[in-house]
Amino acid sequence: MSNKMHIKMTVNGKAEEFLAEPRELLIYTLRERLNVTGPHIGCETSHCGACTVTLNGKSVKACTLFVAQADGAELTTIEGLGTPDSLHVLQEAFREHHGLQCGYCTPGMITRASKLLEENPTPTEEEVRFGMAGNMCRCTGYQNIVKSILAAAAEMNAAKEAAQ
Amino acid sequence: MIPAPFDYYRPSDLDGVIALLQEHGDEARVLAGGHSLIPMMKLRMADVPHLIDLQGIDSLRAINVTGTRVTIGAMVTQHDLIDSAELSSAAPILRETALQIADPQVRYMGTVGGNVANGDPGNDMPGLMQCLDAQLHLIGPDGERSIAARDYYEAAYMTAREDDEVLTAISFDAQPGGYAYEKQKRKIGDYATAAAAVTIQKSGGSVAAASIAMTNLSDTPVWSEAAGAALVGTACDAGAIKAAVAAMLGDIDPTEDNRGPVAFKRHVAGVILTRAITRAWDRA
């Protein structure tokens, strides 16, 4: 029944074009079709946020979008935020402040945190906790994730000031 | 996790949407933010052979505040709503409510119209819209019509919307005065155990007008006319609030689920409404 669609999207700056069934969930497009396996799947009820990516400037759960909806979209995943040789400030802060253990929630956490700090560069602890509430973690108890994000915010603001 | 196959459409105007709905009847559904529909499709609880995405229709994203009249396009997201200084100033209860809905990611996608049209008694916006006496604007093959939010909800997932109609906008007169949306929930992102939307206008130290609606305490949202009436003319003291709570309890009909038994929900409804009235009165 369902016809394949010709889909175009940009993922971490790279143009992608392929045929896909409209029902393909975006998380599977990323992981299985494009081999972008940082975003994870932790649930099937849209709660955990392990699949969080940035789509056209919004933090979204890639398990709750069809590839058809993302036709024409621009996506950033954890792979697009930094490289092993040149970590994103948030990646460095999560390492420094022990903001991860098993690492399964981390790609979603950091991708979401990057958008949170873009919208609110100087969040309070409470704002970080509320702004990250769509992302669950089984290992850390959140405390060090909050520390990591606050530290990254301070670092980014200091860098901004130094640049001025 | 794996939805059944469907054909996907992204029309650029409402005529295109209506034509598709007419062509495919109840085999077609519109897709707004997708954050109730897609989860249901993943569990195969919703079977939608023809999915009509509304994201290409810009007119559905308009926010308009003219004097006290507020009109919100159905595709305005919860995030847009929270982010709109104009809306937050005209009707701050919208922002207060939206911040208690779901989580950041869901709020970037989930829309006001989807929340209102969905028909799940767990959604928060329906009770709010009843409290505000909002009008819901629908378009179908025979043209446009409006229906009061207070008349829209018939039962769980049963609303006054016909299969070939689309909710395009919501409008209401923003009232000056106090407001509160108070919600008891088990955790972030949960639907309410009990929630109350309250607006109060004050005049000379007493309540001039009040409107009260309750969320997730029946198979529809509940606008309790009697609860609002119990406050009017009083100084909103403890006795008056008690009378309003008693009136509200006569209008709700909660059922037992994981959020608790009926007696507990009725207790929580009273606590939540007392808090909401108190806060709305403080702000009035």
Question: Which ipTM was obtained for this model?
Answer: 0.97
Q: Scanning the structure block, which residue is given the tokens 């305490």?
A: B217
Q: Chain B closest CA to A24's CA: distance in Å?
A: 8
Over the stretch B213-236, which tens digit does the pLDDT of each residue have? 999 999 999 999 999 999 999 999
- Smallest Cβ–Cβ distance between B39 and the set A64, A69, A116 belongs to A64
B27 touches chain A (CB under 8 A): no
Contacts of A46 (CB under 8 A, 6+ apart): A61, A63, A64, B35, B38, B39, B106
Cβ of residue A53 closer than 8 Å to a chain B Cβ: no
Q: Does B265 touch chain A (CB under 8 A)?
A: no
CB pairs under 8 A between A and B: 91
Contact partners, residue A85, CB within 8 Å, separation at least 6: none
Q: Please state the domain extents for chain B.
A: 7-52, 59-173, 178-283
Buried b (16+ CB within 10 A) or exposed e, A81-109: bbeeeeebbbbbbbeebebbeeebbbbbb
Fold matches, B59-173 and B178-283:
no
Q: What is the pTM of this model?
A: 0.97
Residue B4 is given by DSSP the state P
**Pairwise CA distance, residues B2 & A23, whole Å:** 8
Phi, psi of B253, deg, nearest 5: -150, 65
A66 touches chain B (CB under 8 A): yes
CATH code for residues B59-173: 3.30.465.10
Residue B6, φ and ψ in degrees, nearest 5:
-155, 165
pLDDT interval class at A2 (50, 70, 90) = low
Give the CATH fold of the B7-52 domain: 3.30.43
Mean pLDDT of A62-82: 98
User: Hey, what's the torsion of the CAs at B105, B33, B191, B70, to 10 degrees?
Assistant: 100
Q: Which residues of A touch B3 (CB under 8 A)?
A: 23, 25, 66
Predicted confidence at residue B206, as pLDDT, reads: 98
**Average per-residue pLDDT for chain B:** 97
Residue A39, chain B, CB below 8 Å: the answer is no
Report the phi/psi class of residue B171: left, alpha or beta, with left for phi > 0 and alpha for psi in -120 to 50.
beta
Contacts of A49 in chain B (CB under 8 A): 103, 105
Q: Is B52 helix (H, G, I), strand (E, B) or coil?
A: strand
Neighbours of B87 (CB within 10 A): 22
Domains of chain A: residue spans and CATH: 5-80 (3.10.20.30), 89-163 (1.10.150.120)
B178-283: which CATH architecture? Answer: 2-Layer Sandwich (3.30)
Q: Is the pLDDT of residue A1 over 60?
A: no
CA atoms within 13 A on the CB side of A63: 21
State yes or no: pLDDT of B32 exceeds 70.
Answer: yes
- Residue A164 confidence (pLDDT): 86
